[in-house]
Amino acid sequence: MPTPLAETLTQLRIGNQKFLIDFYQHSRHLFARWAQRKHQLTADQAHGLLQDTLLDFYDHVADGRITRMPADLRAYLYGMAQERIAAQVPAHQPLPAAEASRRQRLLAQFNQLSTDCQQVLTYFYFRGYHFEKMGGKMGFPNATVARRQKSTCLRKLYDLVRGGYEPITGEVA
């Protein structure tokens, strides 16, 4: 029988990020005080650091580097933040990892797509929406249109990955 913590990890893997959002909301103030006391960071710097740390944690869970929920999650995340400061990683840059370069390239290329394309691909590949639901969310007339739009956006991303084309940032065709 899965424990609540293990359940949380599973939920994170399948895209339920509420746990991390709640953690940020409840811990931002305390974390900023800790970072100010320990590392003389301003409130804005501390907030940015906590966001990057939570993104790291999510990445670790998503790619399997974390397979068990830490017993003391708060201490674990503070430790990750401390490692980030010690390594002097610039804010909003990922920690070094085995597959980081390929994924980070893809993330950068994903961000070059139009907002609609990012939304369509997020709905399909991250949220797991079927074409009918995605069509409803995006305002497409039917599921077939939604499938074509998704296909078009995926090809645009692949073209960027191939590096054979200029960045495409136009509206969904």
Partner 1 sequence: MPIDLRPYFDELERFADGQMSPAEQDAFELRLEQDEALADAHAAYEQLTADLRWAAGHDTLRQRLQALDDRMNERGTALARAQRLTQRRQRRWVVWGTVAALLLLAGVAAWYLARPTLARPTRNWEAYYQPDPGPAVTTGLLHSRPLLAEALDQYQSGHYPAALHSLGRVNSANVGADTLLYLRGLMLLRQGQGNAAQLYLRRVSDDSAGRSGALARRARYHLGMAYWQAQELAPALVTLRAVAADSLSPYRASARRAVAAGVLDGK
Which residues of this chain interact with partner 1, rule CB under 8 A?
15, 17, 20-21, 24-25, 28, 47, 51, 54-55, 58-59, 62-63, 102-103, 106-107, 110-111, 118, 121-122, 125-126, 147, 151, 154-155, 157-158, 161-163
Quote the least distance from Cβ 108 to partner 1, whole Å: 9
Go through 80-89 and write b for each residue having 16 or more CB atoms within 10 A of its CB, e for each that does not. Answer: bbbebeeeeb
- For 155, the token pair is 């090809």
The residue (of 37 and 162) whose beta carbon lies closer to partner 1 is 162
Tell me how far the alpha carbon of residue 65 is from its chain's centroid: 15
Whose Cβ is closer to partner 1: residue 3's or residue 163's?
Answer: 163
Q: Could you tell me which of 88, 124, 100, 116 has the C-alpha nearest to residue 172?
A: 116
**Smallest gap from residue 1 Cβ to partner 1 (A):** 27
Q: Tokens representing 39?
A: 């590392």
